[in-house]
Structure formats: C-alpha cells, structure tokens
Amino acid sequence: MLLHAKLGAAIASERFAVRDPQVLSAIEKHTTAAREMSPLDCIVYLADSLEPNRSFPERADLWSLALGDLVGAMRAVLLLTMRHNARKGVATVPATLAAAASFGLTVADGVPPEVRASAS
C-alpha cells in the first residue's frame, strides 16, 4: 500500500506527463495522508478511503460527513484508521500519525496511547 502511492505519482509524471504538482501530491498522499494536506490531497485521500466498495460500518456516515466537512471527515477517518491499526496490532505509519497531529488529533480524542507511542 505504501509503495503504490509513490509509484503512482511517478508513473503519472513519467508515463502520462502529469506535471501539475497538486495532482501529483494528491496521488502520492492518497493512501497514508501527510503532515501537510491541501484540500485536493484531502479530497483524494477521503475518496480512496471511503469509496463505495469499502465495507466497514462507518463508511456511509463518513462519506456524508466528507460532503459537508472536509476537515471533520479527515479527523474522523484518520482516527478510525489509527484505531483499526491498533486493534490489529499494526503500527500506524509516520505519515498518517503526522497527518493526525496536523488535524489536531490527540490522546484525548481517543487516539490509543500505543498508536501515539509508535510515532516516536
């Protein structure tokens, strides 16, 4: 999952002559997010995370939230991602942790301490 985003941006640039840095940024950040996210980065990240073929209980409600509150949806999806990883015993990647912090998520918001510790 981590490789395909960077590879996708490289292929878009090299094979399809995509030169728009905003588009390339959105492609590169669509799976993990990042500390700095433009509105386009957020839209593509949320579209990937919440696409209709994904089957988790919160998906439809998060999709509705994303249609009206981009920042709120980012916070909710990032938090859900970190909780999911913690339940599975999988470390959340540093880029996702940085994105969560940049959207103001803290332990008080329900980020499990073990997830926060993996950012160190």
CA–CA distance, 56 with 26 (Å, rounded to integer)? 24
User: Structural domain of residue 31, as residue ranges?
Assistant: 2-117
- Say how many domains are in the chain: 1
Q: What is the pLDDT of residues 38-96, one digit of tens each?
A: 999 999 999 999 999 999 999 999 999 999 999 999 999 999 999 888 889 888 889 99
H/E stretch holding 74? helix 70-88
- 44 phi and psi angles, rounded to 5 deg: -70, -40
CA–CA distance, 111 with 83 (Å, rounded to integer)? 7
Specify the pLDDT at position 120. 40
- Kindly state the tokens that stand for 97: 């942790």
Q: What is the pLDDT of residues 80-106, one digit of tens each?
A: 999 888 889 888 889 999 999 999 987
Strand ranges inside the chain, DSSP E: none
CATH number at residue 48: 1.10.3210.10
Nearest to 88 by CA among 56, 41, 47: 56
